[in-house]
Chains A and B, each alone.
Chain A
Amino acid sequence: KNEVEQSPQNLTAQEGEFITINCSYSVGISALHWLQQHPGGGIVSLFMLSSGKKKHGRLIATINIQEKHSSLHITASHPRDSAVYICAVSLRAGGTSYGKLTFGQGTILTVHP
């Protein structure tokens, strides 16, 4: 079993729909990252969370440390949101190790106009 599990693996939506991507992890973490990858490869960091909730524009990320679960929400989805969304965790360890990430398998999101 992977240490980081994402669901769903594929998600298709119509423009304007509310989208939720889930991430569960099985180990203690120091931080959780939500990343976005467009075709061509470049990765953009959307959020870094250690507790609670963060919001950037139409994107909202939440984390429940006790339940080892995080969600990424996209409100009023748009075709330009089509990308792969990746959850990654920094495992809890001695010292600072925030570049050492364990990744989920990614969620491929397609938003149709």
Chain B
Amino acid sequence: KAGVTQTPRYLIKTRGQQVTLSCSPISGHRSVSWYQQTPGQGLQFLFEYFSETQRNKGNFPGRFSGRQFSNSRSEMNVSTLELGDSALYLCASSDGAYTGELFFGEGSRLTVL
């Protein structure tokens, strides 16, 4: 059974640009959550999607957005990049049920210059 796949693994952007990151969950999982990890703030929750609907959202500005497709794949987008957006972006999938364990991808490491 394939794990959670995140693409791209590494990317470099400049301030003001936008970026789209992709997350393919484990087959059969309907929930995808996104997290940002930085040295200063640690891990923080961005948003969670379940069956194409945003179920929860963290405290991030509107420049951070996401969506989920009918095949459960999810994308997140960051517009008008700032230096502080440099981070490891992780996604996790689960079956969305009460006892659903989370399975994490390897992350996408974004550097903003």
A residues sitting closer than 8 Å to B (CB atoms) are 30, 33, 35, 40-45, 48, 86, 88, 95-103, 105-106
Contact status B45-A101, CB under 8 Å:
yes
In contact, B56 and A100 (Cβ under 8 angstroms): yes
Q: How far is the CB of A2 from chain B (nearest CB, A)?
A: 9
Query: Given A96-B96, A98-B98, A99-B56, A43 and B42 touching (CB < 8 A)?
Result: no
| Contact (Cβ within 8 A) A100 B33 | yes
Flag if B58 contacts A100 (CB, 8 Å).
yes
Distance in Å: Cβ of A8 to nearest Cβ of chain B: 16
Q: Does B27 contact A (CB under 8 A)?
A: no
Which residues on B are within 8 Å of A, measured CB to CB? 31-33, 35, 37, 42-45, 48, 50, 55-56, 58, 88, 90, 92, 94, 96-107, 109
- A96 CA / B30 CA spacing, docked (Å): 13
A43 interface neighbour in B45, B90, B97, Cβ under 8 Å: B90
Shortest distance from the beta carbon of A112 to any chain B beta carbon, whole Å: 25
Contact of A99 (CB < 8 Å), options: B55, B88, B105: B55
Taking A45-B101, A96-B55, A98-B31 as known contacts, 14 extra A-B pairs with beta carbons closer than 8 A to each other, sorted by chain A number, are A41-B109, A43-B104, A43-B107, A45-B102, A86-B43, A97-B48, A97-B56, A99-B31, A99-B32, A99-B48, A99-B55, A99-B94, A100-B45, A105-B42
Q: Is the CB of B90 within 8 A of A41?
A: yes
Q: Is the interface of B mostly helix, strand, loop or mixed?
A: strand
**Distance in Å: Cβ of B58 to nearest Cβ of chain A:** 7
Q: CA–CA, A106 to B58, complex, Å?
A: 20
With a cutoff of 8 Å between Cβ atoms, the chain A residues found around residue B43 in the complex are 86, 88, 101, 103
Q: In the bound complex, what is the Cα–Cα distance between A97 and B49 (angstroms)?
A: 10
The minimal Cβ–Cβ distance linking B10 to chain A, given in whole angstroms, is 11
- With the chains together, A71 CA to B31 CA distance in Å? 27
Residues of B within 8 A of A95 (CB): 55
Q: A42-B104, A45-B103, A48-B99 are in contact. Are A102 and B45 (CB under 8 A)?
A: yes
